[in-house]
Amino acid sequence: MNPQFSIVTAKGGHRILMTADGTRVETPPVEHLAFYTGVGLLAAAEIIEWPVALLLMGGHILIGLTNRPALKELGEALDAI
Q: What is the pTM of this model?
A: 0.64
Distances (CA, A) of 64 to 60, 68, 72: 6, 9, 10
For residues 14 and 29, the answer to whether their CB atoms sit within 8 Å is yes
pLDDT of residue 77: 81
Q: Residue 41 sits in which domain range?
A: 4-80
Residue 11: which of 32, 29, 34 has the closest Cα? 29
Kindly report, residue by residue over 47-69, the tens digit of the pLDDT.
999 999 999 999 888 877 776 77
pLDDT at 71 over 80: no
Domain total of the chain: 1
